[in-house]
Structure 1
């Protein structure tokens, strides 16, 4: 079971100790809420962050944003996905899985109006990482993205051998038959059926508002890689996979072996020490900042598309 209490206590400690950035603004674009963090540096690299399952941008992601701004001079955009937080949509539901991926393009379109020359980097935590894997492999992105970071990625049930054996209450309880019928009918039936129940304790409702505890088939399909091995092998851009060494959901060594077996030459794997599935948010900023700096330096202005990365020094 994920330790939400440890996460909430750590988040409170970081909130007290971190200095604020020079500019934090909240916006709504076609019903999507996003929050933009900007430091004193010119906006050259924007990291768009997608949250994990059931939560929203208020669940500690502002701490990571401020760390990236202060330590690496990056600008950061946090997003509430459709059906989450204060974004539009019925909580935990989607009319079509493709909408979530199309919204990534829509948000970048909005940001490009203000920052047309910036390079854009995508980061997903947990199920947000699964969504971004689908974005690049089940959808044709509208814009060239400079890099991708998968933080404690939820690769889904089709990534065999990477999950820990659960001895307590599982984080997600899934009803399988609606997914089977939805797949057999090519998405025509049972897309709105509530088939996933997330075990998020009620004790954190005071820390994070607008939590989502139930997902429809469409929402789960948008967030979950259907063929994670094949999808990792076809990711078309420099990608960093960061895995917590004490992750409660996944076996770190198995995740590393999976990444090395199926990842292509764009993929780098790193282990985050003394981190769990949730609090790795607070321990990942250095690795993310160094990765983005390395990518930007290696590929320059992206002429001709991304190139294989040199090995990142340990």
Structure 2
């Protein structure tokens, strides 16, 4: 018997979700030659909107994110590109690691550049859980590419975010001393050492061997905002932020103050919504509708 009471969050909704059609996996070569896997969910109708979706910690593109892509593709005629981060899923690279912190962000830029070249219309970046943390880091990076908006789904903004539920069953265990030693030696020591362990239930990993249970110091730094509130306050494009009311990891009320941080023109165009009854993962089954409606609000012609 599986003891779901001791799991950090429920996987039941994803297990019960009806499967959707997955397009053929494609690859793009990044700045250092690393081959990045992605799945292009292309609308059959001409579209003026494209979404690049970044998965959560230790996950991969087909760990539930296909439901967002399918909804946007078919119900809103939006192109969606599910990206496996380097060292994840079917992308190349040492599992759960990155040579440099910025390589992950450069990968995102490479994908944005490729889609700008191949597709017409607006480009939006979307991240779930730790993927949203990566996105917040990316938009704070001086060398980022300009896009038209952002989406944060059940965002994991890191240990400095103040969003964790007091009664959560921790999803990750962190070896802090490795981060300290890496910082003290400017990355010479421990940067490629496994320092964060994800507590995916054994039965889930058995069913999905592509899930990673550990990541290194470098990769964790790429995903974890160093000053989340300051970074969010500098938001330079409209955004949508969606959190499930029954998210097992976060105190949902703590996200509303983030929505107050950006400058007024950005805030007026942005959307913050608590999705009633949804958990950390089941939110993936509903978020496609919310993203699609928000894109339509920003672009009435879509």
TM-score greater than 0.5 by the shorter chain: yes
Unaligned runs of 5+ in 2: 1-6, 30-34
SS of 2:127's equivalent in the other structure is: strand
Contact 2:242 2:272 in 1 (8 A): yes
Output the CA distance in 1 between the equivalents of 2:151 and 2:297: 13
Asked if 1:35 corresponds to 2:39, the answer is: yes
Runs of 4+ in structure 1 off by over 6 angstroms are none
- Measured after TM superposition, the shift of residue 261 of structure 1 is 4.2
Aligned CA distance change for structure 1 residues 188 and 132 (closer, same or farther; 3 Å): same
- Measured after TM superposition, the shift of residue 139 of structure 1 is 3.9
Alignment of 1:141-160 (within 5 A): 141-142=144-145, 144-160=146-162
Contact 1:2 1:277 in 2 (8 A): no
Equivalent position of 2:261 in the other structure:
262
Contact 2:168 2:249 in 1 (8 A): no
Equivalent position of 2:117 in the other structure:
113
SS of 2:88's equivalent in the other structure is: coil
Figure out how many residues of one structure are paired with residues of the other and give that number: 287
- Measured after TM superposition, the shift of residue 7 of structure 1 is 3.3
Asked if 1:54 corresponds to 2:46, the answer is: no
Asked if 1:131 corresponds to 2:130, the answer is: no
Equivalent position of 2:32 in the other structure:
none
Equivalent position of 1:243 in the other structure:
243
Output the CA distance in 2 between the equivalents of 1:58 and 1:264: 35
Contact 2:8 2:168 in 1 (8 A): no
- Measured after TM superposition, the shift of residue 9 of structure 1 is 2.2
- 1:190-234 Cα offsets, whole Å, 9 max, x none, are 211211111011212354331111110000000000000100001
Contact 1:149 1:241 in 2 (8 A): yes
Equivalent position of 2:172 in the other structure:
172
Contact 1:84 1:210 in 2 (8 A): yes
Equivalent position of 1:284 in the other structure:
287
Which of residues 83, 88, 92 in structure 2 aligns to 1:84?
88
Output the CA distance in 1 between the equivalents of 2:38 and 2:144: 19
